[in-house]
Amino acid sequence: MAVSEPVRALLTSFDARQPAALARAVSIVENHRPGFDELLAALHPRLGRSRRIGLTGPPGAGKSTLSTGLTAAYRAAGLTVGVVAVDPTSPFTGGALLGDRIRMESVALDPGVFIRSMATRGSLGGLAATTREVADVLDGFGFDRIIIETVGVGQSELDIARMADTSVVALVPESGDSIQTLKAGLMEIADIFVINKADRPGADRLKHEVELMLGLRMGHAFRSIPAHHGVELRTTNPARMARKAAETEADHWTPPVLPTVGVKGEGIHDLIGAIDRHFAYLERTGELRARRRQRLRERVVEVVEDRVRARLWRDDMTNAWIEERLPELESGALTPFAAADALLERSGDLLTRGRT
């Protein structure tokens, strides 16, 4: 694809490592402003230098603190860090905003750190896709580490965590019976567990329970495990489960369970060590390439779906066509299925080439 003048100028500013250019590029991509796809396409050949670390956990697990701790430690080691903090999509909680303001202050003057909070996106696009795109911009800019922090309360947050090279799941003793309520998806994505606020009562018990559960997972990789502690563990990803089982006979990764006290910075270096060991394991076994290939597959799917939605629903004629069908839909003479089939039947050119 030929690169337009504004995008070329932006890329030149990237090469000069201008923070303002980065902030502008992230905003363009986050809001899907004109040229966002051209920019991402131009950055595509540069991707893959950054290591992406996912950090998820229940509200109150201290994720902001952990991510600030990781950032400080990486900076001390001379590495640059980009942070994408996905705002809770909950209509009932707004905690992350405050956390971000505090964080911003402590690193605002460090050009080796870039933090962006992502708000909920509307129906076009989708939060997981946009988060991945912003991470791609940070990768293209050349950050050594990218931390993708999500509040982990919904499916989309799991999807986000899944796109990292290494997924860290943070738990706290206060969650109390949280181990009993961990869902299978979480056990599947966690490469490293952190027991944060480990100076509080119950930390040892929680660590023991997580380790017990990990043992269960490894032992029963091939079948659905019956309810345990009221939790159904489903083998939702057979390929990965099969790979896990194969690993048990060769090179093998057992997620470590690490105690941390984020506010005191305790355990952060052990966490960084575990992340490094996990990355080395990924490289050694070819799993890194497999994960990144999976990311590329998902990217193509995302872009296709985004294109389809944009072409159909931003098209005046399509919307007018639906509007004209409403009386029949209301009366029951036309079903949404028949309407959808008819709409697709007439939208061939629009879908394949866009309105020209």
- Which residues ranging from 228 to 287 are in contact with a copy of itself (CB under 8 A)? 230-231, 236
Nearer to a copy of itself, 185 or 265 (CB): 185
- Least gap, CB of 162 to a copy of itself (angstroms): 11
| Residue pair 97/117 in contact by the 8 Å Cβ criterion | yes
Q: Using CB under 8 A, which of the segments 72-80, 212-220, 238-246, 321-329 binds a copy of itself?
A: 321-329
Structure token pair of residue 349: 């050119």
Which residues, in sequence order, are CB contacts of 121 under 8 Å at separation 6+? 127, 130
DSSP code, position 163: T
Is residue 124 at the binding interface for a copy of itself, with CB under 8 A as the rule? no
**Pick from 106, 181, 224, 254: which binds a copy of itself (CB under 8 A)?**
181
Give per-residue burial for 201-212: e unless 16+ CB within 10 Å, then b: ebbeebbebbee
> Strands, E, within the chain: which ranges?
51-56, 81-86, 113-118, 145-150, 166-171, 192-195, 225-228, 231-233, 257-259
Is 9 a residue that touches a copy of itself (CB under 8 A)? Answer: no
Residues numbered 296-315 forming contacts with a copy of itself, rule: CB under 8 A? 296-297, 299-305, 307-309, 312-313
String of contacts with a copy of itself for each residue 155-174, x by CB under 8 A: xx-x----------------
Give the pair of three-digit tokens for residue 283: 């490289």
Give the one residue of 142, 185, 256, 265 binding a copy of itself; rule: CB under 8 A. Answer: 185
Q: What are phi and psi of 136, to 5 degrees?
A: -65, -40
For the window 10-39, what string marks contact with a copy of itself as x by the rule CB under 8 A?
Answer: ---------------------------x--
Residues within window 69-98 making contact with a copy of itself, judged by CB under 8 A: 88-95, 97-98
